[in-house]
Amino acid sequence: MREAEITIATADGTLDAFTCHPEEGGPFPAAILYMDAPGIREELRDFARRLGTAGYFVMLPNLYYRVGREGGYGFDRTRTSQDDAERQKMFAVMNTLSNAMVAADTGPMLDYLAGHAMVSGPVGCFGYCMSGRFVLAAAAAHPDGFAAVAAYYGVGIITDRPDSPHLSLGRIRGEIYLGFASDDAYVPQGVVDALPAIMTEAGVTHRIETYPGTSHGFAFPLRTDYDKTAAERHWERLHALFDRRLRGRITGR
């Protein structure tokens, strides 16, 4: 893999990001990986690398750049699962972000990809946990920017706020995939139940799937809720979506 740590100028400062792509071949279709609440770490870089090895240029942006860089967010990521005080600090940092902020940051990211010699063709995006809402908000704000959008156990997709992502789904032109855990304390079942009708009414191409016997965080090997079978299925779904929409390959759907 060819890897790089880059910076991108935004309206609010300088966003740092990790990028990777295969050593040989190219240019490649691109994908932006939107992080979960714990922030940038090697586990997420490994996610970027796993997709990259299949022939993609992957960007992993530090969405917390307004707060700090990796390890400087103000909470101890290694303790958030056991220490409630550290977990609340993490949630406080997470809550410094808004859908509008991430959508605004996405514009310069797309500009960077458009100008990179190793990027060609459509762009996709995918995210986990807190970024479920962000990938949808970004895709709605940049309808020509994304041909495929995927979110796994995404939170905040339906809220009572005026910026709730479900209200702008009709602007999205790319295909949407949403994967949820069957037992998720952070995503009410009512949200999962309501989304099919909302997606259909919005007129977007979509697939919504619940992974049996799973809980929030099932895709991450270092989480206590990791489920290998479900995690591999989530990669299968992501590759199928990106093959279909970013490479134009015919698949089973």
pLDDT tens-place string over residues 175-229: 999 999 999 999 999 999 999 999 999 999 999 999 999 999 999 999 889 999 9
Q: What are phi and psi of 184, to 5 degrees?
A: -130, 115
Nearest to residue 178, comparing CAs of 203, 155, 147? 155
**What distance in Å separates the CA atoms of residue 67 and residue 73, rounded to the nearest whole number?**
6
pLDDT for 71 equals 86
Compute the distance between CA of residue 106 and CA of residue 139 in angstroms, rounded to an integer. Answer: 9
- Residue 203's contacts (CB-CB under 8 Å, 6 or more residues apart) are 170
Residue 112 burial by CB count (10 A; 0-12/13-18/19+): exposed, middle or buried?
Answer: buried
C-alpha distances out from residue 99 to 82, 122, 166, Å? 28, 23, 12
CB distance 238 to 51 below 8 Å: yes
From the list 216, 219, 214, the residue with the least C-alpha distance to 236 is 219
DSSP secondary structure code for residue 40 in this structure: S
Strands 2-10 and 13-21: antiparallel
Question: Which tokens is 28 given?
Answer: 């490649």
The class (CATH top level) of 2-246 is alpha beta
Rounded distance between C-alpha atoms, residue 133 and residue 125, angstroms: 12
Percent of the chain topping pLDDT 70 = 98
- The reported pTM is 0.95
Structure confidence by residue, pLDDT tens digits, 6-24: 999 999 999 999 999 999 9
What pLDDT, on the 0 to 100 scale, is given for residue 249?
58
Question: b/e per residue, 174-186, with b = 16+ CB within 10 A?
Answer: bbbbbbbbebbeb
CA quadruple 56, 62, 143, 201: dihedral sign: positive
Q: What value does the mean pLDDT of the chain take?
A: 95
Q: Does 251 have pLDDT greater than 70?
A: no
CA atoms lying within 13 Å on the CB side of residue 67: 20
What count of residues does the chain have? 253
Helix, strand, coil shares of the chain, percent, nearest 5, are: 35, 25, 40
CA distances from 157 to 16, 129, 199 (A): 26, 10, 12
pLDDT category of residue 253 using cuts at 50, 70 and 90: very low
